[in-house]
Amino acid sequence: MVEDTAGVRADVELRLPAEGAYASVVRTTATGLAARLDFTIDDIEDLRIAIGEATALVIPVADPGTDLTACFFFGRATLRISLETQAMDDPPLDTESFAWQVLDTMAQEVSAGPASGRFSVSFTVKSQAAGRTTGVEL
Amino acid sequence: MSVDNTGGETVVTVTEVAFDEAALTGLEQVRARSADLFAVLRGEEESPASRAVARDDLVHLHLSLVEHCARRFRNRGEPLEDLVQVGTIGLIKAVDRFETDRGVEFSTYATPTVIGEIKRHFRDKGWAIRVPRRLQELRMQIGGATGDLTQKLGRSPTPRELSEVIGCTVEEVMEAIESSHAYATLSLDASDDSDDGPPAMLATLGVADANIEHVEVRESLKPLLDGLGEREKRILLLRFFKNMTQSQIAEEIGVSQMHVSRILTRTLAQLRTSLEQD
């Protein structure tokens, strides 16, 4: 489900146990990157919520003892995030779930679902402060 | 509380005070009663038992003060009952520490103690993690600067812009913002991974009641049922509310099972057509 970024090297990649306790690490990393990329406080708030819901979609379906891979792709005033884990029984995406509804509202280009033993959630957040020179060389 | 064995004595005091000072207002009565009780509590020659009773009575007398203080802090995410509990601890502390010769009313002395105890509860329990004062102060600076910058820029500021205005690093801004989330840290879908822990917040939220659509059906059926004959109504009742079989109904009413069956079929068909016509 990460076809739009497939083959592209992630700017930042994070691998950690697929357990609820590590969700905050993904969140902290994401907000830290967004601050570096000059996202506004509001954008970062939205991102923080989006990450929380995305992890709530991915972590429960992860096979026990597997890893969660978080990839961050920097764009022009955008940040694309993809969370992926191993789920051998290809669990379907529950689009009725609260987490999905919220994520779909908070982020753009949201896609999620199982694909050959992997379950992934990808989404993009945009900065309102577009046009301002960022502190990061893209 | 050891009120039971000495309770009679206390009640007598109440009546006396109330009788003697019947002309006084409620507040003055409480003050007078409070002063009397403190005289007992601090009295050198009083027995430990009567002093204990006086202490209990003082706490009970001022419970409304605690409730009043606690109510000022409701709607802040902590149950009112908990606030009353911790406020009462503050009240007990105030009773024990109050010095009668200071010349102030007990309620004047107790209020800050009670409120202090409630505030301490918020500080200690309200935060999922303890946030250092430095960050709490920075958070307030960020709050102010965010308002100003949002006005100026026409959008919310970036952490870099905030750090430039406040004069700290981007990391510090992020740290302070991060800390303000310590109050509510979880997704609604998250549970605490233990079997006996509370269910995820989401599980406690309501959904549309599946029975709600039955209301309409029931309401439309009501006048139709009223239009049925006594015997038809009775058979429907026995069949669908008492869950009796047709044979049992036949026995109850004194007709054959075949007859019950015919009546049921006819009545149901009748109801259905009437419903569909509407």
Cα–chain-centroid distance for residue A55?
8
Q: CB B189 to CB A23 under 8 A? A: no
Cα B157 from Cα B39, distance rounded (Å): 61
The pLDDT of residue B74:
75
Cβ atoms of A49 and A74 closer than 8 Å: no
**Touching check for A91 and chain B: CB below 8 Å?**
no
Q: How much of chain A exceeds pLDDT 70, in percent?
A: 88
- B184 forms beta bridges with none
Point out the residue among A31, A55, A129 whose CB comes nearest to the CB of B155.
A129
Q: CB A128 to CB B170 under 8 A? A: no
What three-state secondary structure class fits A40?
coil
Cβ atoms of A31 and A70 closer than 8 Å: no
Point out the residue among A35, A53, A128 whose CB comes nearest to the CB of B174.
A35
Residue B10: enclosing H or E segment and its boundaries?
helix B3-20
Cβ atoms of B216 and B278 closer than 8 Å: no
Q: How do the pLDDT tens digits run along chain B, 278 residues long? A: 434 444 344 443 444 444 444 555 777 888 888 888 888 888 888 888 888 898 999 999 999 999 988 888 876 667 888 889 999 999 999 999 888 887 888 888 898 899 888 888 876 665 656 667 777 788 888 888 888 898 898 888 999 999 999 999 888 888 888 777 665 444 555 555 555 555 565 666 666 666 776 777 777 778 888 888 888 888 888 888 887 888 888 888 888 888 888 888 888 888 888 877 76
What three-state secondary structure class fits A124?
strand
ipTM: 0.70
Distance from CA of A40 to the nearest CA of B (A): 4
Indicate the residue type of B6: T
DSSP secondary structure, A66-118, as one string: -EEEEEEEE-SSEEEEEEEEE-TT-PPP-TTSHHHHHHHHHSEEEEEEEETTE
Q: CB B174 to CB A128 under 8 A? A: no
Distance from CA of B172 to the nearest CA of A (A): 11
Cα A42 from Cα A128, distance rounded (Å): 9
**Touching check for B176 and chain A: CB below 8 Å?**
no
**Touching check for B170 and chain A: CB below 8 Å?**
yes
Q: What is the mean pLDDT of chain A?
A: 85
Q: What CA–CA distances, in Å, run from B77 to B64, B65, B126, B190?
A: 22, 21, 8, 19
**Touching check for A23 and chain B: CB below 8 Å?**
yes
Closest C-alpha among A107, A35, A105, A42 to residue B153? A42
Residues of B in contact with A94 (CB under 8 A): none
Closest residue in A to B202 (Cα) is A98
